Amino acid sequence: MRLRVRGPNGVANISLPDTATVADLKQEITSKTDLPAFDLKAGFPPKDLNLDQFDDELKLADTGLKLDGEQLIATPHDIAGPLKHAGSSTSNLPTSIPPSYQASTAQMSSSSASQPPLSLARKSSNDVSDDPPEVPFPLLNGTLCLRIMPDDNSCMFRAFSSAALGGDIDSMHELRSLVASIIQSQPDTYSEAVLEKKPDAYCAWIKREDAWGGGIELSILSQQFDLEICSINVQDLRVDRFNETAARRIILVYSGIHYDVVALSPSEEPHTHSDLPPDFDTKVFDTGKDEILAGAVELCGILQGKHYYTDTAGFAIKCNQCGWRGKGEKEATVHASNTGHMDFGES
């Protein structure tokens, strides 16, 4: 039996004898992907494949699974642990705000944390969804792609979960609750001075569907999932790093009022375009592979040239509810506080 497995480090071939058992396949997947515990998807479109439903000593030929010639997608299983046990342990929590958070205060969470959440729509001219840029990456037989998240005020949480939770973009409610539980368990670290809001009020705020996530949330999630998060600012190509000591990395793209995620998609030579769905993406990378981060910055340079960003300090803004016009997020926040209006767009 011959098959392929795609893990965080790329694609590997597996060859097994006809007498191979379920345990043999699990061992081979671990060997090829360096994942001691994993979740699998198979088929097209990919569907969940649960090997634990079979006895380890059962021969693969007797499972009824048609795996010969198949490509499996392996994602870390233990990465979801903090979601299942949010608040149950604080042993891995940061005892101080990581230095990279200080560099992130230009991002939306720190400036809007003490204000009502705003809904800011991007101009259609900034939209690249019809033709997202790609960067050839022949070194890993793939193409770096921008995977665009929905514009629904949960884009940061969706981008993070898309990468860290094996393609799932709908775990924003659990992630918001996780962030709130960590803040409540660490009052000395996440104080009112840091949050610019009383911790209980901040926790109630971040659990709302219309509250944006930013630097504080990225710092917490990076620690809880033991990932380095690199957030590239499209406007100036600055890279903000969270939890730099982690062995694995995800790369987010920040365009002023929105987050997307960078993915490596397998592609045919010359690797200028990938036509496979996101199920085949790799979004978790070894932190030693700085060439991937450099490629992501190159990708953001293309986005910068397409003006795929919003200058939140100086952009012309209008209220979609009453027609008021102003400049920048601060003026919009004042208008929101005075009127209760939350729906804004670039004018």
Q: pLDDT tens digits for 8-25?
A: 666 788 999 999 999 999
3-state secondary structure of 101: helix
Just give the CATH number of 81-305: 3.90.70.80
CB 3, CB 14: distance < 8 Å: yes
Sign of CA dihedral 275, 276, 277, 282: negative
Measured in degrees and rounded to the nearest 5, phi and psi for residue 124 equal -65, -25
- On the question of a common fold for 2-76 and 81-305, the answer reads no
Could you state, in order of their start, the residue ranges of all structural domains in the chain?
2-76, 81-305, 316-346
Bridge partner residues of 79 (DSSP)? none
Those residues of the chain that have pLDDT short of 50 are 78-117, 124-125
* Structure tokens, 20: 């191979």
Alpha carbon distance 162, 262 (integer Å): 10
Q: How many CA atoms lie within 13 A of 345 on its CB side?
A: 12
Tens-digit pLDDT profile for residues 178-216? 999 999 999 889 998 888 889 999 999 899 887 888 899
pLDDT at residue number 45: 54
Q: Which residue numbers are catalytic?
A: 152, 155, 258, 341
CATH of domain 2-76: 3.10.20.90
The 8 Å CB, 24+ separation contacts for 89-94 are 90/182, 90/185, 90/186, 92/223, 92/224, 92/226, 93/182, 93/185, 93/186, 93/189, 93/223, 93/224, 94/186, 94/189, 94/219, 94/220, 94/223
Torsions phi, psi of 281, nearest 5?
-70, 155
Query: Residue 177 is inside which H or E element, if any?
Result: helix 172-185
Model confidence, pTM: 0.65
Grouping H, G, I as helix, E, B as strand and the rest as coil, residue 246 is coil
State the angle between helix axes of 172-185 and 155-164 in degrees (0 to 180), rounded to the nearest 10: 100
Collapsing DSSP to helix, strand or coil, 155 comes out as helix
